């Protein structure tokens, strides 16, 4: 089996893939941020209503502000990571999927990942993320495949990867 797919550079798709890759961290951080905002604002309102302790109110509002900062911080970091991607990565790539490896070729970079290194597969609307580490993945777009290639790739995934999602 050999499937060749052109993979255009798409910052929006890359950002969407990063949000999936870092989804657990984003969820945890946003939950903590929401709790910090709720405790900070709620505590400040309660203190101002039932007590005149304005010094502690400032501390609680600072906690709420920190929660807001955390809530938006990871998304900003991911957008910054995409915008700061080196120029040599901002080109169309050619993906070649074979029986034993995935090859991604940019004009100046070539990477090969053996199928034995793939630990997890996540299917999205736009394609598949093939994980070879906890935060390392290569994306295979659906848009560059015809129906036969997509069916062939799906069949291959069910027999050659430990967990297909």
Tens-place pLDDT, residues 102-124: 999 999 999 999 999 999 999 99
Residue 4 CB neighbour total at 10 angstroms: 13
In a domain, 165, yes or no: no
Distant-in-sequence, close-in-space partners of 86: CB < 8 Å, separation ≥ 6: none
41: domain range?
17-83
96 and 144 fall within a common domain: yes
Of 27, 52, 83, which marks where a domain is finished?
Answer: 83
User: φ, ψ for residue 123 (rounded to 5)?
Assistant: -95, 135
In a domain, 108, yes or no: yes
Are residues 129 and 137 in contact, defined by beta-carbon separation less than 8 angstroms? yes
In a domain, 67, yes or no: yes
Band of pLDDT at residue 164, cut at 50, 70 and 90: very low
- Please tell me the total count of domains within the chain: 2
Of 83, 107, 122, which marks where a domain is finished?
Answer: 83
122-127: long-range contacts at Cβ-Cβ below 8 A with a sequence spacing of 24 or more?
Answer: 122/20, 122/165, 123/164, 123/165, 124/16, 124/17, 124/20, 126/13, 126/16
In a domain, 156, yes or no: yes
Packing angle, helices 11-21 and 54-83, rounded to 10: 130
Packing angle, helices 11-21 and 23-50, rounded to 10: 70
70 and 110 fall within a common domain: no
* pLDDT (tens digit per residue) in 84-106: 999 988 999 999 999 999 999 99
Of 44, 64, 83, which marks where a domain is finished?
Answer: 83
73 and 96 fall within a common domain: no
Considering the chain, what is the average pLDDT of its residues? 89
Packing angle, helices 54-83 and 23-50, rounded to 10: 160
71 and 96 fall within a common domain: no
pTM over 0.75: yes
In a domain, 114, yes or no: yes
* pLDDT (tens digit per residue) in 68-80: 999 888 788 889 9
42 and 103 fall within a common domain: no
Looking up residue 143, the CATH number of its domain turns out to be 2.30.29
């Amino acid at each position: 089996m050999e499937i060749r797919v052109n993979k255009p550079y798409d910052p929006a798709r890359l950002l969407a893939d990063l949000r999936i890759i870092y989804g657990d961290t984003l969820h945890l951080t946003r939950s903590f941020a929401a709790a910090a905002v709720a405790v900070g604002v709620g505590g400040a309102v309660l203190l101002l209503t039932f007590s005149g302790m304005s010094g502690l109110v400032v501390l609680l509002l600072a906690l709420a502000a920190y929660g807001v900062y955390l809530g938006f911080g990871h998304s900003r970091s991911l957008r910054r990571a995409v915008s700061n991607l080196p120029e040599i990565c901002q080109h169309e790539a050619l993906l070649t999927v074979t029986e034993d490896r995935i090859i991604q070729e940019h004009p100046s970079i070539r990477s090969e990942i053996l199928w034995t290194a793939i630990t997890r597969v996540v299917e999205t609307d736009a394609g598949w993320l093939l994980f070879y580490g906890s935060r390392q993945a290569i994306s295979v777009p659906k848009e560059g495949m015809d129906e036969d290639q997509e069916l062939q790739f799906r069949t291959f995934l069910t027999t050659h990867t430990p967990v297909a999602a």
